Amino acid sequence: MSEAFDIAIIGGGPGGYSTALRAAELGKRVAMIERDATLGGTCLNRGCIPSKALISATHAIDSIRHAGELGISATINGIDYGTLHDYKKRIVDTMTQGLAGLLAHRGVTVFRGVASITGAARPITVHIAASADGQGVQRSVRSDVPEDIGPSYDITAQDVVLAMGSAPRQLPDEPFRGAIIDSTRAMSMAMPHNAVIIGAGAIAAEFASMWNAAGCKVTMLIRKDRVLSGWDRRAGVTLTRELKRHGIDVIDRSTVTHIDTGVNMGALVHYTSAKDGGSTEHIAEGEFVLVAIGRDPLTSDGWIRDAGVTVDDHGFITTDGYGRTPVAGIWAVGDITEGHALAHRAFEQGIIAAESIAGLDPKPLDEDTIPQIVFSNPEAASVGLTATDAKQRDDLSDIKETVYPMMSNARMMMSDSGGSLSLVSGIRAQQPGVRVVLGVHMVAPVASDIIAEAEQLVGNHTPLSDAARLIHPHPTFSETLGETLLKADDRPLHTR
C-alpha cells in the first residue's frame, strides 16, 4: 500500500519549496520529491545564490581597483580561487542546509529520487525511482537526515504540484562541450583570462561584469543593438554603454555561425555582423565561450503529456493565474510555466497554489508586478510596463513617461557610475481620473534595492500624487525615485 499525502510536489527549487512550506503551514500533509542531492534547485545551488556570492567578491575587486580616485592607495596582489570557491560553497551550504531544516521543522516529507505521475485519477499516483547517480530512493521525515527506502517507491496525493524548473539553452547545432560552457559550469570554475559570452540577457550581463572585474578580457556577442533588448529601451542602452565603459567589448547586431573548439585551443567563435551587411565573417577568441541565450523548461518527459497536462510549443505547461492545469488536481509553478524565469515569481506562484489547494481565496498572479533585476555593474532593475507596452493596452490611457537625470543625484556622482531612470504613469480604466505608477525602469549601483519600493507602488496601483508625497532620505540613491515621482507629478524639486 502506497504512502498517502494531501499534496505531492515534484521539484525542490523555489517554486516547489515555497509551495511545500505554505501548504504545511496550512495543515496539509506534504511530500516533496527532488532528484538532486541538495534542495533549492538551480537558484540556491547553481544560480542566484552562488552567482551573487561571486559578484560580491568581484565588487570588492572593482572597488579596490578604483580606490586611487578617492586618494586611497591599494593594490590587488592576486585572487585565491580556492578561498573564493570555499566562500561561495559556504554560502550555498548554509542556505541549502537551512532550507532542509526549515522543511523538516514544518513536517514536510522529502524524498530524493526521480518522480513521475503514473495515475492521474485522484488520488494521483506518483512513482519515485532511483536518481541518475544510482542512489536508491531516500526519505527524510522531520529530519534532514535521509533514510534509504529501496530502489523505487510509490506515493499518492489528492493534488500534485509540478515544479521541475529549467535548464540552460544551447545554441542550435552547437551542444555544450569542452570550451563551450553553460552558466552551471561557469559557476564552478576559476575566472578565465579571456572569454566570449553569447547572449544579452541577465545571465550574460552578470557574467560579463563579474569576469571583467576580475581582470578577464570579455567579448559579448549580442543579436540586437543593446543588451536587455526586451526591457525599456533607455535602460538597455544605458547598461550597454556602461558595460563598454568598463572595458567590455560589446559587439551588437551579430549572428554566430559556428564555433571551433579543440584540445587546449579554447574556442574560436565565428560570427557575421549586420553592420557590414553580414557579408564578412569575423572571429572572436576566448579561453571559454559562455552560451547564455536563455533557459528551457524541463518538460520533455513523456509522463507529463501522458497525464493529460497541456504543454505548448515552447515547452511551457499551460496554467491559469492560480497554477491550475486543465487536469484536476495537477498544478504547475516556476520556470515550467510561461513568464519570467525568476525565483521570486516562483515563490509567489507556490504560495498561491498552496493557498488555492487549501481552499483559501488568494489573488491570482499579476505578471505586471514581478520585478526583474540584473546584478551587473551597474545594476539594472525593472518592474511594470514600459511606455510602449502601456500604450498598447486598452485598459490604460493618457500614458506619460518621465525621465530623471541620474547624475543630478549626489550619491550617483560619488559612485562614478552612469545610470538611467524612467517612470511610466497613466490612468487605469478601474481608477478613472487617477494617475498611477505603471512602471519603473532603472540602471544604478543599487537598483536591486530601490526597485522593491517601485514594485509596491505599481502593485498597489498607488495614485501618483500620493506616491510623490513619500519622503526619501537624503543623501541616498533612493532619492532618484523620489525626485522622479515629484517630476512626474509636475512638482520637480532638483530637476527641471
Residues annotated as catalytic are: 474
Look up residue 455 and give its three cell numbers. Answer: 514594485
Q: By the 8 A CB rule, do 113 and 129 touch?
A: yes
C-alpha to C-alpha distance for 416 and 437, rounded to whole angstroms = 29
Dihedral over Cα of 238, 244, 250, 251: its sign: positive
- Report the DSSP beta bridge partners of residue 382: 372, 441
End-to-end CA distance of the chain: 74
The SS3 call for residue 64 is helix
Q: By the 8 A CB rule, do 349 and 336 touch?
A: no
Look up residue 468 and give its three cell numbers. Answer: 510623490
Residue carrying C-alpha cell 509636475:
490
Q: By the 8 A CB rule, do 354 and 378 touch?
A: no
C-alpha to C-alpha distance for 46 and 188, rounded to whole angstroms = 8
Instruction: Output the CA angle 209-38-54, nearest 5 degrees.
Output: 15
Question: What's CA 204's distance to the chain center, in Å?
Answer: 12
The SS3 call for residue 130 is coil
- Read off φ and ψ for residue 467, nearest 5 degrees: -60, -40
Name which of 420, 438, 414, 439 is nearest 428 in CA terms: 438
Cis, peptide link before residue 123, omega less than 30° from 0: yes
C-alpha to C-alpha distance for 344 and 439, rounded to whole angstroms = 18
C-alpha to C-alpha distance for 118 and 144, rounded to whole angstroms = 27
Look up residue 364 and give its three cell numbers. Answer: 491570482
Dihedral over Cα of 450, 410, 408, 489: its sign: positive
- Read off φ and ψ for residue 190, nearest 5 degrees: -70, 160
Q: By the 8 A CB rule, do 171 and 290 touch?
A: no
Please state the length of the chain: 496
Name which of 305, 306, 319, 315 is nearest 356 in CA terms: 319
Look up residue 19 and give its three cell numbers. Answer: 509551495
The SS3 call for residue 111 is strand
Look up residue 461 and give its three cell numbers. Answer: 496601483
Taking 3-state DSSP, the helix, strand and coil percentages for the chain, each rounded to the nearest 5, stand at 35, 30, 40
